[in-house]
Structure 1
């Protein structure tokens, strides 16, 4: 896992796995947002599997996928909701971390 800190409350990484959840918990993450659609590439862990592991570890999680259409208004609103509702610090993940960075920036802009 290559975790990149965006600010004090939000970091991003590429794809995480069920096995990464305990490490994320030990690093102090209190919530996770998945910005990757299920089935984007073969072998990708399913969101439901990652979510079950996160919830079992006491980490809140949301799925706000950003697919081939790029950042849609619906996705940005979903990220705003996640930022308003989930505890921090938060980790956003996608394939590389780029979409999670862009959607965070767009959501923060929308939030004013």
Structure 2
């Protein structure tokens, strides 16, 4: 798996990392991932690294692929809903990528609101070095809406 960036193993079913090269999709499949979720907007990457290129490489490796852009303007309710659909409708384990793995992990946490206990979500984030106590209230509010 030398083609892969260092992985953030948030749960047994979800990992995140910096955007890998398109050539790494076969390594992701070999590692047991079944779905790749692109959380990185095309405006951040060079030609050849855009979501369409990554989707083609993922599909060639036998992986499902979803695009759920997480921009620096913030995570919207539509973004959370799209991430939730990707996580629930596409087979796991899931691999999400962005610039460094942080946005992918945060949008995963928000998408899991109501599907997993808030304490479990927060502990998963803290275990991988993303202790964000301020996110708890947002997760609990989203869970209450589900």
Shorter-chain TM-score above 0.5: yes
Number of the residue aligned with 2:62? 58
1:4 aligns with 2:8: yes
Number of the residue aligned with 2:29? 25
When normalised by structure 2's length, the TM-score is 0.72
**Conservation of the 8 A alpha-carbon contact between 1:38 and 1:46:** yes
Give me the whole-angstrom Cα distance separating, in 2, the residues matched to 1:24 and 1:35. 16
**Conservation of the 8 A alpha-carbon contact between 1:80 and 1:110:** no
**Aligned ranges for residues 87-102 of structure 1 at < 5 Å?**
87-102=91-106
Q: Which runs of 4+ in 1 moved over 3 A?
A: 41-44
Over 3 Å counting, the alpha-carbon distance change for 1:2 and 1:28 in structure 2 is same
| Greater relative contact order, per chain length (Cα 8 Å cut-off, separation 6+) | 1
The Cα shift of 1:68 comes to 2.0
Number of the residue aligned with 2:38? 34
The Cα shift of 1:44 comes to 7.0
Q: Which runs of 5+ in 1 are unaligned?
A: none
SS of 1:87 mapped into structure 2: coil
**Aligned ranges for residues 51-90 of structure 1 at < 5 Å?**
51-90=55-94
Give me the whole-angstrom Cα distance separating, in 2, the residues matched to 1:80 and 1:16. 22
**Larger Cα Rg: Structure 1 or Structure 2?**
2
When normalised by structure 1's length, the TM-score is 0.93
Give me the whole-angstrom Cα distance separating, in 1, the residues matched to 2:92 and 2:44. 27
Larger proportion of helix: 2
SS of 2:44 mapped into structure 1: coil
